Amino acid sequence: MSSVVVVGSFNVDHVWRCDVLPAAGATIAGRYSSGPGGKGFNQAIAAARAGAATTFICSLGQDPGGTMARELAAADGVTVVAESSAEPTGTGGIYVDNHGRNTIVIGPGANFTLSPDFIAAQQETLAGAKIVLAQLESPLESIEATMSAARAAGVTTILNAAPANAVASIALLRQSDILTPNETEFAALLGRHVGQRMEGDDVAALDGNTLHGLCRQLLPGGTVIITLGAVGVFVSHEDEQLRGDTQPYYRVGAEAAQTVDTTGAGDAFNGALAASLAQAPQAAFNTHVRFANRFAARSTEGEGAAASMPRLTPEA
Ligand code: ADP
């Protein structure tokens, strides 16, 4: 039995490190490297390195990228349950500048062929989890199937509503016990579902009471964690469901870090949060948030996405 089941994407990331991000029409030189990525895979590796027995449910092409996913997951002790796709394994093209800022293009490939039927066939695995964690880089009907199977079995669900341009229905959002958008994704969700227009850059500056009210409108009954990059996180609980905390909302500042590359910081946070919740379900929620915050900060100190996940467990 796995304590964390992650459902989502795997990509082979192609990364160019450049002095500045290229403008439209520009040709510049960069230092190339490649490695594994995709939000689902990154989060699964993070959960495993944070100490949780982890299963990763995904769709892979019958190509070297698919083999790479299986081999790297195995090296981190992650069990892979993959639907075999006629499409190529997912890819990502990433530019990273000297400040660690990035621009990303995704080629979804096999990720977009993960089917609801395949998810339905994993019912036992999903029902046996302590935490089921999903993102929005897979077909939304498959993510819906994932969340409803987990919910039906009484398993705690975390939805990382990423990327921002994926349009999750309100019904899907409300199948999550814990919703974890970054500030851009939070602003997009507010625009779509709460009728509140806002720039992602303005989210962190809102006062706590206002942010809490917006979170309550977005996910009544559930917990929202907004990740705010180098500012840290904002947590908002429903009053009747504080998950062991004493306050319905609070901020946790980011940990100091020698940041070189923030790619995958949100994935680090989500994987570590799931792992911590699975390993110590009785602990107050803020202890899980603080651990995930620490884990994510460490992940920014190395290059790459999955590759930069630290080996850091909640007890450490
Ligand atoms: P995403 O990768 O989805 O854009 P964020 O940028 O919000 O996610 O980062 C996720 C989390 O990673 C933050 O909430 C914080 O805990 C941590 N983090 C990100 N950037 C930094 C940083 N520069 N220093 C310390 N922690 C960071």
Ligand 1 atom, smallest distance to 292 CA:
16
Whether 136 and 112 have beta carbons less than 8 Å apart is answered as no
How far apart are alpha carbons 78 and 90 in whole angstroms? 19
So which residues are the catalytic ones?
A: 267
Distance CA 27, CA 96 (A): 15
Q: What's the CATH number where 115 sits?
A: 3.40.1190.20
Q: Is the CB of 259 under 6 A from ligand 1?
A: yes
pLDDT at site 102? 85
Domain assignment present for 180: yes
**Owning domain of residue 70:** 4-24+37-308
Asked if residue 31 is part of any domain, the answer here is: no
User: Which residue's CA is the closest to the ligand 1 atom numbered 24?
Assistant: 230
With a CB cutoff of 8 Å and minimum separation 6, the contacts of 262 are 100, 101, 102, 229, 300
Domain count, the chain: 1
Ligand 1 atom closest to 259 (CA): 23
Q: How far is the CA of 45 from the centre of ligand 1 (A)?
A: 17
User: Does the Cβ of 229 fall within 6 Å of ligand 1?
Assistant: yes
Contacts (Cβ under 8 Å, ≥6 apart) of 121: none
Compute CA distances 168 → 31, 140, 181, 203, 290, whole Å: 36, 7, 12, 20, 27
Domain assignment present for 60: yes
Q: What is the DSSP string of 32-77?
A: EEEEEE-HHHHHHHHHHHTT--EEEEEEEESSHHHHHHHHHHHHTT
With a 6 A CB cut-off, is 254 part of the ligand 1 pocket?
Answer: yes
Residue nearest to atom 25 of ligand 1 (CA): 297
Q: In degrees rounded to 5, what are phi and psi of residue 309?
A: -70, 130
53 part of a folded domain? yes
**Probe residue for ligand 1, chosen from 101, 201, 224, 262 as the CB with the greatest number of ligand atoms within 8 Å:** 262
Q: Tell me, what's the pLDDT at 2? A: 63
Let me know how many helices (H) and strands (E) the chain has, helices first: 10, 13
Is the separation of the CB atoms in 247 and 289 below 8 Å?
A: no
Is 316 contained in some domain? no
Q: Which amino acid residue places its CA nearest to atom 22 of ligand 1? A: 230
Ligand 1 site-directed mutation target among 43, 182, 258, 294, most atoms within 8 Å of CB:
182
pLDDT for position 316: 61
β-pair partners for 134? 7, 159
Gyration radius of the chain over CA positions = 18
Q: Tell me, what's the pLDDT at 162? A: 96
Q: How much is the pLDDT for 101?
A: 86
Whether 287 and 257 have beta carbons less than 8 Å apart is answered as no
State in Å: Cα 42 to ligand 1 middle.
Answer: 14
Q: Is residue 256 classed as helix, strand or coil in its secondary structure?
A: coil
Q: Is residue 71 part of a domain?
A: yes
Gap between the Cα atoms of 69 and 47, Å rounded: 16
Give yes or no for residue 164 CB within 6 A of ligand 1. Answer: no
The verdict on residue 265 lying in a domain is yes
Structural domain includes residue 32: no
Name the helix (H) or strand (E) containing 185. helix 183-189
Would you say 184 and 166 are in contact if contact means Cβ atoms under 8 Å apart? no
**Average pLDDT of each block of 10 consecutive residues along the chain (316 residues)?**
90 94 96 94 98 98 98 98 98 91 92 98 98 98 98 98 94 97 97 95 97 98 97 97 98 96 93 98 97 98 90 87
User: Rounded distance, CA 241 to CA 17, Å?
Assistant: 44
Residues 6+ apart with CB under 8 A from 71: none
DSSP 8-state symbol, 303:
S
